[in-house]
Structures are given as C-alpha cells and as structure tokens.
Amino acid sequence: MNLLIFALLMGLWTGLTELAAAETPNVIVIMADDLGYGDLSIYGGRVATPAIDRLAVEGRRFTSGYCSASTCTPSRYSLLTGTYAFRVPGTGIAAPNAAALISPETVTLPSLMKQAGYATAVVGKWHLGLGVGRPDWNGELKPGPRDIGFDHCLILPTTNDRVPQVFVQDRRVRNLDPNDPLWVGEKIPSPDHPTGQSHRHTLKLDWDQGHNGTIHNGISRIGFYTGGHQARFRDEDLADEWIRESRHWIDSHRAEPFFLFFASHDIHVPRVPHERFQGKSGQGPRGDCILEFDACVGELTQTIEQLGIKEKTMIIVCSDNGPVLNDGYKDQAVEKVGDHQPAGPYRGGKYSVYEGGTRTPFIIHWPGRIAPSVSDEIVCTIDLPATLAALTGQSLPPDACRDSLDLRGVFLGETGARGRDHLVQQDNGGGNFGLRDGHWKLVRQKLPARATRQAKSAGEDLPAVQEQLFDLSRDPGEQTNVAAQHPEVLSRLRERLEAIIRDGRTRPHIP
C-alpha cells in the first residue's frame, strides 16, 4: 500500500511539474510563399522589409532555418504533421481538385494546440486538398482544416495560379450563389470556353508556360472552372482580405490563448499585389509582393500591440520553400532582379534540394522571453509540432509527428541549447534528397530517364542516381563536389539517409 501511495504521489508530482513548466503564449506562425533566404533586407536583400527586420532585431534570427521540402504542398504537410512528406504518397503539389491530404485522425500542430486549450485558426493559402475523392465545391468541403484541429479557417483552397479563385470559409465556399454553381475540372468544359490560349490578347498578365487555362481577372490559370462568379475574389485584394479576417479573429480571441497560422500567398505567382504596392520596389511585381508581405507582417504586429498582448505573443516568420523567378508568367522577375540575390549565397531555389531550395528566413519574436540574438543552429518548420507541444506541456503520442524534434531551448535562446544535428531536404515528389549532417551535405538526385537512355545508346554507363558531397563550412554555395576526397563521409551520409527513409521516423521513441 505504501508503494502504491508513493507511486501516486510521484505521478501527481510529475504532472504538476509539467504543468508548472508549460507556457501558453499566443502563437502566430506567418509563412511566406516562395520567399528566399536573401529576399529580406535583414538577410541582405535589396528590397526594404522594415516590419520583418524589426522582429528579427528584437527577436531571434536563424541563419540555418529551413523548411523540409522545396515546394509548397509537401512543405506545408510537414509543418502541420511533423512528418516528412516523402513518407506519404501523393503529397506532391496538389491539383485543383485534390482530396484532403491530411486525414482527420492525424495528430497535427493545430490539434495539439487545441488540446492545450488554444483557439485555432488558419487564414491564407491551404493547398493541402479538400474533401474525399474530390472537393464538393457546392456543398460541404469535408474533411478540411476544421477536421484536423482548426476551429476556423478562411482559405484559398489551392494556390492562386490554380483554379478556383474563391475563398473557403470553414467548410463552404464563401458567398457562393446556389443559382450559379461552381464547377472545377481538368479538361476544358466547352470549345468556346475562354482560355489563356484562345484569348491571350485579353490578358493583363501574360503567361510564359503552362498557366493558360481559365481566365479570371485578366489572368489565365492552371485548370478550368465555371460559375461561382459572386464568390470570386480580385487578386489585388487577397492579402488585405486575409489581414482583415486575421485582425478580427485575433481581437475576438485576445482573452484566451490562440494559435493563428497566417499562410500568405506572397510572393507566389501570379504576382499581383494591391495597387498601393505596384511599382514601388523597383524590381517589378516580385519585389512589390515582398513589400506587400512585409506590410502584412507589420499589420499583424500592430494588431497585437494595439490589443496590449505583444508580450504574450510569439511570432514565427518563415517560408514554405526557396525562391523562383520565372515560374510561369511574364512578370519581369528575371529582367528586374538586378544585383538582388533571392537565395542569398546559396545554390538552387524552389524545386531544388540544394540549400537555396529549403534554407529560408526563420525568425522568432517573443518580447521579454526571447532575447535579441542571431543563431547558427539548425532548425526547421517540421519541428513546430513537437516544440510547441512541449512548450505548452504536452506529450506526443509515440506514432505522431515522426520527424518533429523538440527544440524549445534553441527557439527560446537558452544557453547551451543545440539544434538539429541533421535534416533531410526533399524536392516536390520526394525522388531527390539532400541530407545536411553537421557541416556536411549529401545531395542525391535521380538522373532523368532520358539522360540515362541517351548515355546507354552512346555506350556510356551512367548511374541512375548521382551523389554529391559538399562541405558547407568551406563551401556554403555547394560549388565543389568533394565526394572523391572524402569517401568515408559520403558512405556514412549515404547510409544515414537510407536508414532515415527505411525506418519511417527520426523522432526518438520515448518509453
């Protein structure tokens, strides 16, 4: 009996200790779209970003901050689930009619925050699919954000270069007129349907490749849709609408802990910022969208200051992948880039497993709790579920968030705290990988089938997979392959990557 009482007391003591250690700041995760390491002025960019720079100066700025994938859908999947997207088939860039990629039983970042007593919302770009089989655009869009832990959502269902240009509020298309039903498809609905090919002369933003389906607001998109005219938005108003919604939602929940995922569409194509930003950056629409994104960060920061909750709010600024210039529209991004380096000193960008594809801005701001500092420790957006769960006093189920690590100490700037010792970087479909291991970097890429066929016909024997090894401490731009000079390092990293893929998890099992 005494042993039983002792065990009960110890369990109570452990629970009270965890509760006492838990913190409940409001959390706002602000994710940019296609924003590169070098796109912010605090990281050396040529476009002034004073609102974000202020957060970086007052908070903690990371020089080795990453997302886990170099395109949007797999990167966002990993942020919300804490699991590498390459482990889950079908998590490449989602099509307009994609079904929900995150099932309702999945433990997610918003479900963890909700479990900790937080109000939760997502405002902005979704691009993780809706519904079962395909979305029911004229009915309930379920499952969706509301079914994986978000109390509220106002989202763009895919991405704005894909149809349809409507908002989904909670589980339905907002402002949809039942007498004008919305249809979304992969094939042209009728021969006379206006597209970027048939009506190219009417476009206000010309396409360069692929973006030549249905026209809306003078811009042709990927895919086709009809109807839903009352529900459609104007591209120029997208960011302002999300800020209005976010400010209202924050104000409504200021008396309780809240978690807001603000998923901006800037600086993704089509780059059509509000008129007040057009022509202001000197770098064309891409630079103007960086200005718009910075203004959104400023609006959200101003909101929590006006509500008197600045000291109670953690803001995390990040990006879903690295930069791209020409991504399907003729918007002068290449012509007007000048000496601006969107990826900073790093090689590659969006779609790439070189550093420029996944090393991005990463800033954490929490006045009075996080001291101003710059950190070289490796952190990743995939670590948000485990880190915020631990911060709010929760334990992760054993099979949840399989690649998310608790980096509380690093996030908060605690003395001696260490970040990741490794990180896997994937491309869109997960066929190509980068493995950062300390200062070493393995790049493993599949050669295109066409290249291997041509080599074979010429009598050459090319391997199906090409491996490169870089020493980031000496060569951060990944220009010199040192695999031949360090075969033992190459072998060690190869084996580690293969084990990570094979084992299905990297988060340690905790008994």
Return the CA Rg of the chain.
Answer: 23
Output the pLDDT for position 430.
Answer: 75
Token representation of residue 106? 């999945």
pLDDT tier for residue 453 given thresholds of 50, 70 and 90: low
**Of 365, 367, 354, 268, nearest in space to 42 by CA:** 365
Q: Give the Å distances, CA to CA, from 420 to 38, 129, 281, 426, 509.
A: 22, 30, 36, 17, 16
**162: helix, coil or strand?**
strand
pLDDT tier for residue 22 given thresholds of 50, 70 and 90: confident
DSSP classification of residue 196: T
CATH number of the structural domain 432-503 = 3.30.1120.10
Lowest mean pLDDT among 17-21, 174-178, 196-200, 416-420: 17-21
In this prediction, residues 322-337 reach a mean pLDDT of 97
Lowest mean pLDDT among 1-15, 85-99, 306-320, 378-392: 1-15
Q: Is 291:280 a contact under the CB 8 Å cutoff? A: yes
pLDDT tier for residue 403 given thresholds of 50, 70 and 90: very high
**Of 336, 342, 346, 343, nearest in space to 285 by CA:** 336
What value, to the nearest 5°, has the Cα angle with vertex 303 and ends 299 and 309? 140
Reply yes or no on whether the pLDDT at 180 is more than 80: yes
Can you give the residue ranges of every domain in the chain?
25-177+232-415, 432-503
262 forms bridges with which residues in the sheet?
30, 123
CATH pick for 25-177+232-415 out of 3.40.228.10, 3.40.640.10, 3.30.470.20, 3.40.720.10: 3.40.720.10
- In which element (H, E) is residue 444 found? strand 440-446
pLDDT tier for residue 237 given thresholds of 50, 70 and 90: very high
Cα within 13 Å of Cα(452), Cβ side: 10
Q: Is 66:423 a contact under the CB 8 Å cutoff? A: yes
CA distance 152 to 174: 13
Q: Is 70:321 a contact under the CB 8 Å cutoff? A: yes
Quick: pLDDT tens for 491-505. 999 999 999 999 999
Q: Is 219:204 a contact under the CB 8 Å cutoff? A: yes
Output the pLDDT for position 459.
Answer: 61
Residue 29 phi/psi, 5° resolution? -100, 115
pLDDT tier for residue 171 given thresholds of 50, 70 and 90: very high
Output the pLDDT for position 454.
Answer: 55
In this prediction, residues 285-305 reach a mean pLDDT of 98
Reply yes or no on whether the pLDDT at 194 is more than 80: yes
Query: Which segments of 104-247 are extended strands (E)?
Result: 119-125, 152-156, 168-169, 172-173, 183-185, 215-216, 219-220, 224-226
Is the four-CA dihedral 179, 185, 188, 189 of positive or negative sign?
negative
Reply yes or no on whether the pLDDT at 433 is more than 60: yes
Reply yes or no on whether the pLDDT at 457 is more than 80: no
Q: Give the Å distances, CA to CA, from 331 to 268, 269, 327, 374, 393.
A: 12, 9, 9, 35, 47
Q: Residues of 93-112 as b/e, b for ≥16 C-beta within 10 angstroms? A: bbbbbbbbbbeeebbbbbbb
Output the pLDDT for position 450.
Answer: 61
Quick: pLDDT tens for 343-390. 999 999 999 999 999 999 999 999 999 999 999 999 999 999 999 999
In this prediction, residues 77-86 reach a mean pLDDT of 98
Residue 392: partners with Cβ closer than 8 Å, 6 or more residues away: 22, 23, 24, 112, 113, 116, 118
**Of 268, 271, 478, nearest in space to 354 by CA:** 478
Quick: pLDDT tens for 110-141. 999 999 999 999 999 999 999 999 999 999 99
Output the pLDDT for position 511.
Answer: 55
CA distance 215 to 213: 6
**Mean pLDDT across the chain, nearest whole number?**
93
Please give, one letter per residue, the 3-state secondary structure of 394-407: CCCCCCCCCCCCCC
Quick: pLDDT tens for 9-18. 444 344 433 4
Reply yes or no on whether the pLDDT at 147 is more than 60: yes
pLDDT tier for residue 429 given thresholds of 50, 70 and 90: confident
Quick: pLDDT tens for 459-489. 666 577 899 999 999 999 999 999 999 999 9
pLDDT tier for residue 456 given thresholds of 50, 70 and 90: low
Percent of the chain past pLDDT 90, that is, above it, reads: 90
